[in-house]
Structure 1
Amino acid sequence: MRERRASQGIRRARDFESFVAGAAGRLLHTATLLTAEPRDANPRARRLLTLALAHTYASWDRLHGEDPYDSARRQLAVRFQRAAWHQYGGFGRRRASPDHGLARLTPQERLILVLRLYEGIAEEQAAALLGLPAERVRAICARAMATLLHPPRDPVPARMEVAPS
């Protein structure tokens, strides 16, 4: 009995390591897009990915043929949504530093845009994942695309008067 359990544990760990070797890069990129951090300095994205992978490993035996990538991506989305809610006091506030192009978007807009365009998730699936109507997901995605494609202009600086000499 112990030997059987030990071999199952080894197989489980090997299967998970194989999954992580193949999927971690893309999942980290997804997390980096969600957090709108630079690729080379993305501690929030790395923490988000670590927590999502830890949850996926903990539920590995309960996946029963479900795609582990979908499970990990779902965890990324849920954890990002929850963190954004707590960090910004609401899901609609924008980040203060627009260093990254996606930082101009609200966390919700960024989440929907990344899920729809980068991850290729259908509107209905994104809506079900986020608990929103599909029409709302469509509208938020369209607004996010418009913001990225046509960013608001910076305000015109006040005219400076030059003192006569």
Structure 2
Amino acid sequence: MRERQASHGARRDREFAAFVAGAAGRLLHTATLLTAEAPNANPRARHLLTRALAHTYASWDRLRGEDPYVRTRAYLATRFAHRAWHQYGALGRARPHPGSPLADLVPQERLIVVLRLYEGVAEEQTAALLGLPTERVHALCDRATATLLHPPRPATPAVTGAKAAAS
């Protein structure tokens, strides 16, 4: 009995290790896009990915034919959405890295853009995953895409009194 359990555990570990070897890079990039951190300095993305992979590992035997990548990505997205309020919302502790291509987007817009455009998740699936109406997902994706295509201009420095009088 113990031998069979050990064999099952070893097989499970090999399967999970193979999954991580194939999927971790893309999932880390997804998490980095979500957190809008620099690719080489992304502790929040790494923490988010570690939690998602741990969750997938814990439920590995219950996947029953379900794609582990989809399960991990869904956990990553919902965990990010849940924590975004605390990290980026009213408390505003974590700011996006200015060099991130998605730095101009709010967390919800980043989440939808990453799922829809980078991960290729259908609008209806994104809406179901996030518990939003499909129309809201569509509107947020459109607004985020417009922001990415036409980023806000940097603020110009204010003209001081002496300079204004000289003009």
TM-score (norm 2): 0.90
How many residue pairs are counted as aligned between the two chains? 163
Distance 1:64 1:39, change over 3 A: same
Contiguous gaps of at least 5 residues in structure 1 = none
Match of 2:79 in 1: 79
Match of 1:43 in 2: 43
Is the Cα–Cα contact under 8 Å of residues 37 and 97 in structure 2 kept in the other structure? no
Q: Identity of aligned pairs, percent?
A: 71
Cα distance per residue 1:44-88 (max 9 Å; x no partner): 110000000000000000000000000010011011111112223
Is the Cα–Cα contact under 8 Å of residues 127 and 137 in structure 1 kept in the other structure? yes
Contiguous gaps of at least 5 residues in structure 2 = none
The 1-side partners of 2:49 and 2:96 are apart by 23
TM-score (norm 1): 0.91
Distance 1:162 1:134, change over 3 A: closer
Is the Cα–Cα contact under 8 Å of residues 32 and 39 in structure 1 kept in the other structure? yes
Q: Is 1:111 matched up with 2:111?
A: yes
Bigger RCO of structures 1 and 2 (CA < 8 A, at least 6 apart): 2
1:163 is displaced (CA, Å) by: 8.2
Match of 2:100 in 1: 100
The 2-side partners of 1:123 and 1:144 are apart by 14
One-letter code aligned to 1:157: P
Is the Cα–Cα contact under 8 Å of residues 95 and 106 in structure 1 kept in the other structure? no
RMSD between aligned alpha carbons? 2.1
The 2-side partners of 1:126 and 1:162 are apart by 51
Match of 1:12 in 2: 12
Match of 1:23 in 2: 23
Is the Cα–Cα contact under 8 Å of residues 88 and 107 in structure 2 kept in the other structure? no
Distance 1:52 1:96, change over 3 A: closer
